[in-house]
C-alpha cells in the first residue's frame, strides 16, 4: 500500500512540477485572498495583526479546495481515472498518494503564506514550533477530507460547486483549532496551544483512516 | 416581549404544518400518476404504433412486458 | 425491482400512520396550549420561558434526525444489511432533519433577541446547529445528483458518516472556543433545572410530541421517496417497451 502511495504521489508531484499549475494559479490565488482580506478589514494593523491566524487559515482552506480540484482534474484527461481504477494499485494507496501530494503542495503554499501574513498584516512570528506543528496536523486533516470528497465530486457534473459545499462545513473544527493554536503562538504563549494541536491531530488521524477505507468504493463509482 | 413568543410558535407550527401538507399532497399526486399511467406496454405502444408510418402494423402485439 | 402493484400500502400501515399523526397532532396542540396559556411565567425570564417548550424539542429532533440518517447510512454500507430502504430512510430523515434544524436556528434566534439583545450569539449549541444545517444541505445536494442508485446511495452514505463523525468534534471545539472568552454561555441543560412542576411536564410533552411529529414526517417522506422511485422505474419500463414495440413494428 505504501509503495502504491509513493507511486501515485510521485506521479502527481511530477505533473505539478512540470505544469506548475500550483505555482502559477493556486499560489497567486492564495496571495490574492490575503490581499483582499487586507482590503476588507482596513489598513489598520491593530485590526489585521490579531486576525492574522484566522485569515491565514481561511486562505489555506480555500486554497485546499483549488488544490483538490486540480488534483482530480488531471485524472479526468484521457480517462486517467479509469486507468487508475484498473491499474491494480491498492485504492488505499492511491488515496494516501493523492492526499500526500496535495499536502506537500499545501505545505509549500503555507510557508509562503506565513511570510505573506507577517508582511501584510504585521503578524509577529513567534512560537515557530507550534506554527509548524499546527500546519502539519491541520494540513493532513484538510487533505484527507479534501481527497475523499474530491473523488466523490470529481465523478459528478456539479463537482465545482459541490466540493466546497461538502468540504468547508466539515473542516470547520480544523479552522477553529488551527487558528487558536496559531493565535497562541503568535501572541507569545505557545503553551496554550496544546489542546488545540490535539484536536488537529485527532482530526487528521480520524479522517485519514476514514478516507483510506472509503476511497476504494468511491473510486469505483465514478 | 410577548410578540417574540407568538412569533416563535407561529413560525414553528406554520413551517411544520406546511411541510406536512406538501408531503401528503406530493404523495397523493405521485400515487395518482402511477395508478393512472399504463403499467403494461400495450397501452402507449399501441398509440405509438398507430401514429407510426406503418399503421397497419399497429395491431401487432408489442414485445413482452418487462418485469 | 418488481413493479407488480404492491397494493400501495397495506391498510394497516396507513391506519397506523394516521393514528400516529393524530396522536402527534394532539400532543403538539396540548403542548402549545399548556405552553402558551396554562404554565406560569418564569421568575427570571417572564413569558420568554414559553419558547423553551418548543425550542429544545426542535434541537433534539434536529440531532435525532441526523443520528437516524447516520445510522441508516451505516446499515446501508454494511454489506449484510444493505437494502434500498436504508438509503431512502437516510434521505427522508435528512430532509425532515434540515427542516427542524432550520427551525432550531430560527426559534433560538427569536429567543435570543430579547434575552441576549442580539439575533445571534456564538453559543456552542447554536453554532454547532448552524454548521449542522450546512452539513445537511450539502448531504441533500449530494443526494440530488443523478446516477446509478447504488453509487449514489453509497457516496451519500459515506458523506453522511463523515459529517456525523464531525459533529461531536465541532461541538467540542466550539464549546472550548467559547469558554476561552468567558462570555456568558447559555446552557440550556442547566437552565432546565430551574424548570419544575407544570413547566417540566410541558417540556417533556413537547419533546415527546415533536418526536412523534418527526416519525410521522419521516414515514411520509419515505413513502414519497419509494413512490417516486417506482414512478421512475415504471416510466422507464414503459418507455423501453415502447421502443421495443417500435422496433417490432418498424
Residues in chain B with CB shorter than 8 Å from the CB of C36 are: 5, 9
What pLDDT is stored for residue C159 in this prediction? 93
More confident: C211 or A120: C211
Considering CB atoms only, which of C3, C113, C227 is closest to B27? Answer: C227
Distance from C-alpha of C245 to C-alpha of C250, rounded to nearest angstrom: 8
Cell triple for C214: 418527526
Distance CA C29, CA C46 (A): 22
Q: Which residue has the higher pLDDT, B3 or C250?
A: B3
Q: Residue C6: which residues within 8 A CB-CB, separation 6 or more? A: none
List of chain C residues whose C-beta atoms are within 8 Å of the C-beta of residue B44? 238, 241-242
Residue in C134, C151, C177 closest to A176 by CB: C177
Per-residue pLDDT averaged across C151-161, rounded? Answer: 92
**Residues A8 and A93: beta-carbon distance below 8 Å:** yes
CB distance B8 to C110 below 8 Å:
yes
**What chain A residue is nearest to C147 in terms of C-alpha separation?**
A156
User: What is the domain range of residue A209?
Assistant: 2-221
Q: Is the pLDDT of residue C1 over 60?
A: no
The Cα A98–Cα C166 span in angstroms is 22
Nearest-angstrom CA–CA distance, C237 and C221: 24
Q: Which helix (DSSP H) or strand (DSSP E) does residue C34 occupy?
A: none
Residue by residue, DSSP assigns A111-175 as HHHHHHHHHHH------HHHHHHHHHHHHHHHHHHHHHHHHHHHTSTTHHHHHHHHHHHHTHHHH
- Say yes or no to pLDDT of B41 above 60: no
Q: Please list every residue in chain B whose beta carbon sits closer than 8 Å to the beta carbon of residue C106.
A: 8, 11-12
Task: Find cell 414515514 and name the residue.
Answer: C219
Hunting for cell 450546512 — which residue is that?
C134
Contact C141 A221 (CB under 8 A): no
Q: How far apart are CA C85 and CA C75, in angstroms?
A: 10
Give me the pLDDT at residue C181, please.
66
Domain assignment of residue C26, yes or no: yes
Asked if C158's CB is within 8 angstroms of A214's CB, the reply is yes
* Range in B52-66, C68-82, C131-145, C160-174 with the lowest mean pLDDT: B52-66
Q: What is the average per-residue pLDDT within C146-153? A: 86
Q: Do B30 and C227 touch (CB under 8 A)?
A: yes
| Per-residue pLDDT at C196 | 66
What pLDDT is stored for residue C65 in this prediction? 95
Domain hosting C186: range is 16-40+48-228
Query: For residue B62, what pLDDT is reported?
Result: 44
Chain A: which residues have CB within 8 Å of chain C?
145, 148-149, 152, 156-158, 162, 165-166, 168-170, 172-173, 176-177, 180, 195, 199, 202-203, 206-207, 210, 214, 217-218, 221
Does the pLDDT value for residue B33 go beyond 90?
Answer: no
Confidence of residue B47 (pLDDT cuts 50, 70, 90): very low
In a domain, C2, yes or no: no
Q: Which three cell numbers stand for residue C232?
A: 421512475
- Helix A172-186 × helix A128-154 angle, to 10°: 160
What is the average pLDDT score of chain C? 85
pLDDT category of residue C7 using cuts at 50, 70 and 90: low
Asked if residue C241 is part of any domain, the answer here is: no
What would the mean pLDDT of C50-65 be, rounded to a whole number?
92
Are chains B and A touching, using the cut-off of 8 Å on CB pairs and a minimum of 3 such pairs?
no
Q: Is C240 inside a domain boundary?
A: no
Residue B54 — pLDDT band, cuts 50, 70, 90? very low
> How many Å lie between the alpha carbon of C192 and the closest alpha carbon of chain B?
18
- The mean-pLDDT minimum among A83-87, C119-123, C137-141, C180-184 falls in C180-184
* Res B31 pLDDT > 80: yes
| C163/A169 CB distance under 8 A | yes
Using one digit for the tens of pLDDT, what is the confidence trace for C58-95?
Answer: 999 999 999 999 999 999 998 888 889 999 999 999 99
| Overall average pLDDT of the C228-232 stretch | 86
Question: How many domains, chain C?
Answer: 1
CA distance A189 to chain C (A): 14
Q: Of B23, B41, B67, which has the smallest distance from its Cβ to C217's Cβ?
A: B23
Decide if C41 touches B, using CB distance below 8 A.
no
Percent over 70 (pLDDT), chain C: 89
Task: Give C98-108 pLDDT, tens digit per residue.
Answer: 999 999 999 99
Residue B58, pLDDT score: 39
Residue ranges, chain A, pLDDT below 50 = none
Give me the pLDDT at residue A3, please.
84
Number of domains in chain A: 1
From A165, A176, A221, residue closest to C151, measured CB to CB: A221
- pLDDT in the model for residue C22: 92
In a domain, C233, yes or no: no
Q: Is the pLDDT of residue B51 over 50?
A: no
Amino acid at each position: 500500500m505504501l509503495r502504491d502511495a509513493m507511486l501515485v504521489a510521485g506521479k502527481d508531484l511530477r505533473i505539478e512540477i512540470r505544469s506548475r499549475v500550483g505555482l502559477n494559479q493556486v499560489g497567486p490565488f492564495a496571495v490574492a485572498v490575503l490581499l483582499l482580506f487586507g482590503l476588507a478589514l482596513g489598513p489598520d494593523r491593530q485590526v489585521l495583526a490579531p486576525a492574522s491566524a484566522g485569515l491565514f487559515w481561511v486562505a489555506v482552506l480555500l486554497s485546499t479546495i483549488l488544490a483538490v480540484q486540480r488534483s482530480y482534474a488531471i485524472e479526468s484527461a484521457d480517462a486517467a481515472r479509469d486507468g487508475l481504477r484498473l491499474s491494480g494499485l491498492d485504492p488505499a494507496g492511491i488515496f494516501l498518494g493523492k492526499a500526500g501530494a496535495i499536502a506537500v503542495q499545501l505545505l509549500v503554499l503555507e510557508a509562503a503564506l506565513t511570510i505573506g501574513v507577517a508582511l501584510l498584516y504585521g503578524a509577529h512570528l513567534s512560537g515557530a514550533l507550534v506554527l509548524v506543528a499546527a500546519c502539519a496536523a491541520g494540513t493532513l486533516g484538510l487533505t484527507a477530507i479534501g481527497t475523499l470528497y474530491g473523488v466523490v465530486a470529481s465523478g459528478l457534473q456539479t463537482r465545482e460547486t459541490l466540493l466546497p459545499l461538502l468540504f468547508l462545513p466539515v473542516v470547520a473544527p480544523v479552522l477553529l483549532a488551527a487558528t487558536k493554536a496559531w493565535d497562541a503562538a503568535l501572541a507569545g504563549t505557545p503553551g496554550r496551544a496544546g489542546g488545540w494541536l490535539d484536536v488537529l491531530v485527532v482530526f487528521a488521524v480520524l479522517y485519514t483512516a476514514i478516507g483510506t477505507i472509503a476511497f476504494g468504493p468511491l473510486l469505483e463509482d465514478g | 416581549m410577548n410578540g417574540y413568543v407568538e412569533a416563535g410558535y407561529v413560525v414553528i407550527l406554520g413551517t411544520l404544518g406546511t411541510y406536512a401538507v406538501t408531503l401528503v399532497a406530493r404523495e397523493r399526486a405521485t400515487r395518482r400518476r402511477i395508478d393512472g399511467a399504463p403499467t403494461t406496454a400495450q397501452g402507449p405502444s399501441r398509440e405509438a404504433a398507430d401514429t407510426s408510418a406503418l399503421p397497419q402494423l399497429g395491431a401487432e402485439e408489442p414485445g413482452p412486458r418487462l418485469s | 425491482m418488481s413493479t407488480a402493484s404492491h397494493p400501495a400500502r397495506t391498510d394497516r400501515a396507513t391506519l397506523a400512520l394516521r393514528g400516529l399523526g393524530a396522536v402527534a397532532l394532539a400532543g403538539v396542540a396540548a403542548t402549545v396550549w399548556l405552553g402558551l396559556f396554562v404554565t406560569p411565567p418564569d421568575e427570571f425570564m417572564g413569558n420568554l420561558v414559553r419558547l423553551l417548550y418548543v425550542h429544545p424539542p426542535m434541537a433534539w429532533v434536529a440531532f435525532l434526525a441526523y443520528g437516524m440518517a447516520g445510522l441508516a447510512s451505516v446499515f446501508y454500507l454494511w454489506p449484510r444489511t444493505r437494502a434500498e430502504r436504508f438509503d431512502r430512510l437516510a434521505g427522508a430523515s435528512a430532509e425532515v432533519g434540515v427542516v427542524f434544524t432550520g427551525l432550531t436556528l430560527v426559534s433560538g434566534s427569536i429567543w435570543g433577541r430579547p434575552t441576549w439583545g442580539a439575533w445571534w450569539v456564538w453559543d456552542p449549541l447554536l453554532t454547532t446547529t448552524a454548521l449542522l444545517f450546512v452539513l445537511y444541505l450539502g448531504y441533500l445536494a449530494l443526494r440530488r445528483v443523478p446516477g446509478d442508485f447504488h453509487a449514489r446511495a453509497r457516496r451519500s452514505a459515506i458523506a453522511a458518516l463523515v459529517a456525523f463523525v464531525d459533529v461531536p468534534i465541532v461541538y467540542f471545539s466550539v464549546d472550548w472556543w467559547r469558554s476561552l472568552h468567558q462570555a456568558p454561555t447559555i446552557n440550556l441543560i442547566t437552565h432546565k433545572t430551574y424548570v419544575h412542576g407544570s413547566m417540566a411536564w410541558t417540556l417533556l410533552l413537547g419533546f415527546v410530541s415533536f418526536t412523534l411529529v418527526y416519525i410521522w414526517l419521516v414515514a411520509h417522506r419515505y413513502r414519497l421517496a419509494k413512490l417516486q422511485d417506482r414512478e421512475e422505474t415504471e416510466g422507464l419500463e414503459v418507455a423501453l417497451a415502447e421502443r421495443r414495440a417500435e422496433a417490432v413494428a418498424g
